[in-house]
Amino acid sequence: MAISPVVTYEAAGSNIRITAEKARSLAVRTNSVASVNDDRPAKTSKVQDLAERLNEETKQKYVKDMKVGEGTYANVYRGHLKADPSSKVAIKKIKLIQEYRDGLTMDSIREVKYLQELSHPNIVALHAVFSSKNQNLNLVLEFLPLGDLEMLIKDTQGIRYGTAEIKAWMGMLGRGVWFCHANFVLHRDIKPNNLLIAADGEIKLADFGLARSFADPYMRMTYNVITRWYRPPELLLQARHYSGVVDVWSMGMVFAELILRVPFLPGDGELDQFRRICQNIGTPTEENWPGVSKLLEDATGLAIDKTAIVPVLGRDMFLSRFGTAGPVGVDLLMSMLTLDPRKRCTARQFLEHNWWTSDPRPTAKEDLPKKGGGPEKMGDDLKRRGGEIEDGGGGNKVARRLNFGTAK
């Protein structure tokens, strides 16, 4: 298992391991093993009985307490271990949707798959999975009562922070994303309200409903991912082949938002989003992004006015807007928001940048600003359908959903 270059792990007792308990607690769909005909092999019947027994054992370990969130996709409960009433967990009960095979959407399957595969301090922990008698899938997640990073960014009156705090939050985000990429997983929906905060101040990357493996460089993938305000230009240009640097662009947008305390490029639509990138970062051309002309030819509904090309904006512009991060931090931000994805920094290069060794040093997680979101805020964060893309990126806008049947 890969180890992040700028994080120190505890040895014995570390939570960075995939335990046998997780493997044993994989949910059993009892409707798919409901009846065993006499002519079925006895071995199959024994395996099914064992699976049902393991599922029941896992379910009996946890107790659901009060409901803290309710949505059309899932209900969220506060719960605890039956053997330890003082423990706290969040139990996310995913509702069956009849039009999908086995009642499960592709995003819920992805969420379970990748949370079981990825275990890291900066990724929300999945303790167990079980199915209930009505076939709903239950995810037992770590209890994260302090809300999300978006809450801290928006509270300009009550929350004060500077470069040292930004460095701490971005370091935790970078380590989580690097770990995903080191294990060949793209997150594809990084944004502040998918960054949940643990009781000790640790940032946890959540919502893996749009995640996917990317080990095969020739695999065509959907471009209709990542909330629009955090979407890189290659996806706006409908690229079908891309890498982990799509997540790095989103990280750069979070970095910029932490400094500005408002979204950097809040486009009203895909065309407006692309226009804002051109105006605030630069217009993609063959000179700054070789091969972009082919993407522009193939992209539906996107074109560049050659009489209004904006040169790639230089360091002075970034310093004037993002000077809080310091000159070295601005250099890092520029490398994350490079138009050409082949020249954009990777998650590993992000972590190895000399910004981390420059002053000020990152604030200790225990000393970071906190805002008590409470169980209700945790319920709001977890009840969303994985991969839900908000029309505009936040606020009170109506959410639109992707067609997960075609997303890959």
Element (H, E) at 204: strand 203-205
CA distance 311 to 223: 26
Q: Which two tokens stand for residue 38?
A: 């006499």
Q: Answer whether 404's CB lies under 8 Å from 386's CB.
A: no
Q: Answer whether 220's CB lies under 8 Å from 408's CB.
A: yes
CATH of 149-400, one of 1.10.510.10, 3.30.230.70, 1.10.1200.10, 3.20.20.140: 1.10.510.10
- Residue ranges of E strands in 40-124: 62-70, 74-81, 84-94
Element (H, E) at 84: strand 84-94
Domain boundaries, the chain: 20-53+62-142, 149-400
The reply to whether domains 20-53+62-142 and 149-400 share a CATH topology is no
Residue 78 has, within 13 A of its CA and on its CB side, a CA count of 15
CA distances from 94 to 132, 139, 366, 389 (A): 10, 8, 33, 18
CA distance 151 to 173: 16
CA distance 293 to 187: 27
pTM score, whole prediction: 0.82
**pLDDT score of 376:** 58
Q: Which residue has the tokens 């979101």?
A: 373
**pLDDT score of 68:** 85
How many C-beta atoms lie closer than 10 Å to residue 79's C-beta? 21
Single-letter code of the amino acid located at 184: F
Q: Catalytic pick from 189, 207, 247, 380?
A: 189
Note the CATH number of domain 20-53+62-142.
Answer: 3.30.200.20
**pLDDT score of 251:** 98
Among residues 374, 373, 385, the alpha carbon closest in space to that of 149 is found at 373
Q: Which two tokens stand for residue 294?
A: 């082919």
Cis, peptide link before residue 327, omega less than 30° from 0: no
Single-letter code of the amino acid located at 52: E
84 is catalytic: no
Q: Which residue has the tokens 């590993």?
A: 348
Q: Answer whether 125's CB lies under 8 Å from 142's CB.
A: yes
Q: How far from the centroid of its chain's Cα atoms is residue 103's Cα? A: 24
Q: Which residue has the tokens 């809300």?
A: 147
How many C-beta atoms lie closer than 10 Å to residue 143's C-beta? 18
238: left (phi over 0), alpha (psi -120 to 50) or beta: left
Q: How far from the centroid of its chain's Cα atoms is residue 263's Cα? A: 17
Report the DSSP pairing between strands 399-400 and 203-205.
unpaired
**pLDDT score of 102:** 67
Please report, in tens digits, the pLDDT of each residue of the chain (408 residues total): 454 555 544 433 344 333 334 433 444 433 443 444 455 566 667 766 888 888 889 999 999 998 888 877 788 899 999 999 999 999 998 887 777 666 678 888 899 999 999 999 999 999 999 988 777 889 999 999 888 999 999 999 999 999 999 999 999 999 999 999 999 999 999 999 999 999 999 999 999 999 999 988 788 999 999 999 999 999 999 999 999 999 999 999 999 999 999 999 999 999 999 999 999 999 999 999 999 999 988 887 777 777 789 999 999 999 999 999 999 999 999 999 999 999 999 999 999 999 999 999 999 999 999 887 655 555 565 655 655 544 444 433 333 332 323 345
User: In the chain, count of helices (H) and strands (E)?
Assistant: 13, 11
**pLDDT score of 380:** 60
